[in-house]
Structure 1
Amino acid sequence: MAEHESPEVMPRVISFLSCLLERVAESNDLNRRFEPNKISVFHGLTRPTISLESYLQRIFKYANCSSSCFVVAYVYLDRFTQRQPLLPITSFNVHRLLITSVLVSAKFMDDKYYNNAYYAKVGGISTTEMNLLEVDFLFGLSFELNVTPSTFHTYCSYLQKEMMLQLPLNVPARPLKLHYCFNEDESAHQKQLAAV
């Protein structure tokens, strides 16, 4: 069930996430313009004209997802980019990656969610494409959908920190990443070693 009070009230995670994804896509566009990119089902022929914030607001308005769903979608996007380094987030694929990660997150997290045809309509793509994107995304994640409370909190904190800083996009020496994803198994292993 959705956590928002009314359709007009957008959770802060929407603006935070759209700002972060925009910065990542712009950075990768600049840093990878001379590198060969692997074309995938997520890659569009042109950049969508709708801004990421408007797109996320549209998803929030019509998909009735909880705020937690968007944080988990962010975790999934980070996991996907870590496992698929030849498919960085760019302005040509970010919208499709976003609608797919929200769809997968809603199915995993929320008690009520819509079918793929509905998400396809919200996302401005065909149902066939939505189905294909979902399957490709799940395989790209190796079907690792569980998000522990600790991981959820880490990503929430990272989002808040990034948005509090709101640093202007300077072209970095290397492409920006969503988050320096940590392996939960490694994190637990390090805590065990520290306790010894």
Structure 2
Amino acid sequence: MASSELPPDVFSFPCLDDGTPTALSPQVVISVLASILERHIARNERALARSREAADDAEAGDESAASTATRRVWAFDSGTVLDMSLHAFLERFSRYAQVSPQVYVVAYAYLDRLRRGDAGVRVVRANAQRLLTTSILVASKFVEDRNYKNSYFAAIGGLSAAELSELELDFLFLMQFRLNVCVSVFQSYCRHLEREVRFGGGYRVERRLEKALVCAGEALAQHRQAAAAQ
């Protein structure tokens, strides 16, 4: 990537119109994301209850006929509910693993991508612990240059190391190994989080990515522009 040929703020989060925003702290990002996830879970729980009622009226299918993707989705369903708030759970990763705001944004993008995918993975209380731990782990590995071991993330998330490693593999297959996040897509999620903080409050998330999140098409275009400028 010819990042040295690009403006210094090419991978920055979007600015507000006044040009004098206040950087969002990791604590604010955590608070906003926890609030969004709580609403997602409440909505998904209602949809799940309706689907279960419909399933009760229909003949039960053969479990052995379930697709591989469905089995991978089931792997995240622990049947247990977190004994702490989502805010406290996410804050643990920031405190003990130094997870940056960018990691949370990418993890949220991954969860949204899974929701829109063929498997239709949705965050509910029965899978929140495993799904969030795994998405943060994978996002951290993608965004950050240095990371703690899986066993350390597992301890923070309340899982065993072996379990988290298996979930990571399931997560990657459900994502079809498409982990890259384009700058434009990344910024759209940042704007979504900004709007959640407060209307017209002048906030933004930190200005720069820890690692360039550029999709293949954008990287190619930037390389051609740099070559043409020479």
- Computed over aligned residues only, the root mean square deviation of the Cα atoms, in angstroms, reads 2.1
Q: 2:194 aligns with which of 160, 166, 178?
A: 160
- For 1:79 and 1:60, the matched residues in 2 are separated by 23
Write the letter of the residue equivalent to 2:195.
Answer: K
Write the letter of the residue equivalent to 1:68.
Answer: Q
Does structure 1 retain, via aligned residues, the 8 Å contact 2:134–2:167?
yes
Does structure 2 retain, via aligned residues, the 8 Å contact 1:65–1:113?
no
Q: 2:80 aligns with which of 31, 46, 50?
A: 46
Write the letter of the residue equivalent to 2:145.
Answer: D
Unpaired runs of 5+ in structure 1? Answer: 1-8, 166-183, 186-196
- For 2:104 and 2:38, the matched residues in 1 are separated by 15
- Match of residue 14 from structure 1: 30
Instruction: Determine what percentage of the aligned residue pairs are the same residue.
Output: 38
TM-score, structure 2 as length reference: 0.64
Between 1 and 2, higher relative CO (CA 8 Å, sep ≥ 6) is seen in 2
Does structure 1 retain, via aligned residues, the 8 Å contact 2:27–2:91?
no
| Higher mean C-alpha displacement, 25-34 vs 69-78 | 25-34
Count the aligned residue pairs.
Answer: 159
- Match of residue 67 from structure 2: none
**Which structure would you say has the larger Rg?**
2
Q: 1:77 aligns with which of 111, 119, 137?
A: 111
1:119-134 pair list within 5 angstroms: 119-134=153-168
- Match of residue 60 from structure 1: 94
TM-score, structure 1 as length reference: 0.75
With over 3 angstroms needed to count, the CA separation of the structure-2 counterparts of 1:146 and 1:87, relative to structure 1, is: closer
Does structure 1 retain, via aligned residues, the 8 Å contact 2:26–2:101?
no
Unpaired runs of 5+ in structure 2? Answer: 1-24, 56-69, 200-214, 217-230
1:150 to 2:188 alignment:
no
- Match of residue 41 from structure 2: 25
Does structure 2 retain, via aligned residues, the 8 Å contact 1:16–1:159?
yes
Write the letter of the residue equivalent to 1:15.
Answer: S
1:84 positional shift: 4.4
Deviations 1:33-90 (A, max 9, x none): 1314966111122211111000000011111122111111111111112114443211
Does structure 2 retain, via aligned residues, the 8 Å contact 1:42–1:97?
yes
With over 3 angstroms needed to count, the CA separation of the structure-2 counterparts of 1:140 and 1:54, relative to structure 1, is: same
- For 1:31 and 1:164, the matched residues in 2 are separated by 28
- For 1:55 and 1:111, the matched residues in 2 are separated by 23
Runs of 4+ with deviation above 2 angstroms:
36-39, 84-87, 162-165
